[in-house]
Structure formats: C-alpha cells, structure tokens
Amino acid sequence: MPTIGSSTDERSGRASDSHGAGRLLGRIARLTLVLCTGAALLLALGFVWFVSVLPAEQVTITRNADGIVALTGGASRIVDALELLAAKRGQRLLISGANRSTNAGEMLRLHPEFESIVRCCVDFDRSLNTLGNAVETRKWAKGRKIRSLIVVTSGYHMPRAMAEIAHQLPDVTLIAFPVFSEKLRSEPWWSNAATARLIVLEYLKFIFTHVRMQVNSGADARD
C-alpha cells in the first residue's frame, strides 16, 4: 500500500518534469521566433540589394561579341537582339525559349527588314524556363565555339539569367543587354501592384536559383 510520502514525491516529480518541459518548449519557441525574425530580415535586406542591382536603363553596347542570345518572353527582346545582330555586335543569334510557332518563316513575316540575317544567322531552341535557356545556350555556344556572348532579356530577369548562363558557361564572357517594357519605363516598379509582385517573385526565384546551384555544386564536389 503506497504511503502518503511516496505519493507526494511522485506528484512533485511530475510537476518538476512538466515545468522542465514547459521551459524547453519556451526556449524552442523563442529560438524559432529569433530564427524567423532573422530570416525575414535577411530576406528584406537581400531584396533591397536585389532591387539596387536591377538594370535601370537600357545600355549601349560598345564592344562586339561572338554571339547573341535572346531569352524570349517579350517581343521587344527579339527585335532588340535582331538589331544588335544587324549592327554586327554578334556573329550569330540564338532565340532561346521560342514557342513552336516561332521559326525563321514567322520571323521573316513579322520582320522582313531582317531577312538576310534571319536566313543566315539565327537559331532557335524550345526551352521552357530560364534553366533550360541556360542549358541550351551552353550547347549552342560550345557547338559554335563562342567565347563572348551578349545576353538579351528584360531588366528584372537579367540577374537570374546571367547567373544561370554564367553557371553553365563559366569561361564565356557575358555582356548584359537589358530590355524594358513601356510600363517599366514610364513608372517606378513599386507604384504598380502587378509590377511589384513580378519583382518580388523574380527575387524569390533568384534566391532559389542560387540555393539550387550551391546544392548541386556541393553534390558534385562530394562525387
């Protein structure tokens, strides 16, 4: 038959265990809060940096390259790339990420003024995303022995595009040629909710791209 003393000791032990568990949960909660706050602060600071390095205006190309790659997503990117090719800033153009209806015939219909260069010097690939653009660009550049490359894409997309292509072609010199829509030319990105969402989403994709490349590099090193 249990004594009163032993029953009291058991209750005291359980209370002590409960109090200890409560302290542990409290520490975990505080640590979680600190980590979440730190992560949010890093994300915010990273976003400020990302916005600060986004191209703010179209550049003037002052040097020639072996090739030009235009990452599709806006009609002006292709036109600008064709103009660069016509100005002999590159010897050959890859239009990367073209849909199935985009081919030499369609290009000639839309841009007959570029007929001679489209017929001789324009290639296409059907990649579906920025990583695919970079992989296809690597194949094309290596096949053409290209050592310098002008990259044509939208200003907000340029950091991620350059990171992906540089990862695939570390020995090729890349020259950025950012393109801007009329909306981005006429108003700050933060003044329009849709544009702001686009920039934030691109920032998150940029982070994911770098994390993926770091993980893959670590896996390659272990292999």
- What residues does 172 pair with on adjacent strands? none
Q: State which residues form the domain around 19.
A: 1-53
User: Across 2-6, 95-99, 161-165, which has the greatest mean pLDDT?
Assistant: 161-165
Is residue 61 assigned to a domain? no
Both 9 and 87 in a single domain? no
Both 81 and 31 in a single domain? no
pLDDT of residue 191: 83
- Look at residue 182 and tell me whether its pLDDT is greater than 80: no
Both 97 and 202 in a single domain? yes
Task: Mark which of 53, 76, 93 sits at the end of a domain.
Answer: 53
Average of per-residue pLDDT across 71-80? 84
Is residue 14 assigned to a domain? yes
pLDDT tens sequence across 192-214: 888 899 999 999 999 999 999 98
Average of per-residue pLDDT across 80-103? 92
Both 45 and 72 in a single domain? no
Both 180 and 129 in a single domain? yes
Q: Radius of gyration (Cα) for the chain, nearest Å?
A: 27
Is residue 156 assigned to a domain? yes
Both 79 and 104 in a single domain? yes
Is residue 191 assigned to a domain? yes
Is residue 62 assigned to a domain? no
Is residue 120 assigned to a domain? yes
Both 101 and 169 in a single domain? yes
Q: Tell the residue number behind the tokens 């993926």, with chain if given.
A: 212
Torsion of CA 127, 133, 134, 137, to 10 degrees: 90
Is residue 205 assigned to a domain? yes
- Look at residue 22 and tell me whether its pLDDT is greater than 60: yes
- Look at residue 11 and tell me whether its pLDDT is greater than 80: no
Both 74 and 38 in a single domain? no
CATH code where residue 204 lies: 3.40.50
Q: How far apart, in whole angstroms, are the C-alpha atoms of residue 133 and residue 130? A: 5
- Look at residue 48 and tell me whether its pLDDT is greater than 70: yes
Both 114 and 192 in a single domain? yes
Both 204 and 99 in a single domain? yes
Is residue 46 assigned to a domain? yes
Both 182 and 207 in a single domain? yes
Neighbours of 15 (CB within 10 A): 10
Both 90 and 49 in a single domain? no
- pLDDT category of residue 141 using cuts at 50, 70 and 90: very high
pLDDT of residue 98: 86
Sorted by sequence, the CB contacts under 8 Å of residue 205 that are 6+ apart come out as 130, 160
pLDDT of residue 221: 46
Q: Which long-range contacts (CB under 8 A, 24 or more apart) does 18-27 make?
A: none
- pLDDT category of residue 52 using cuts at 50, 70 and 90: confident
pLDDT of residue 185: 66
**How many distinct structural domains can be found in the chain?**
2
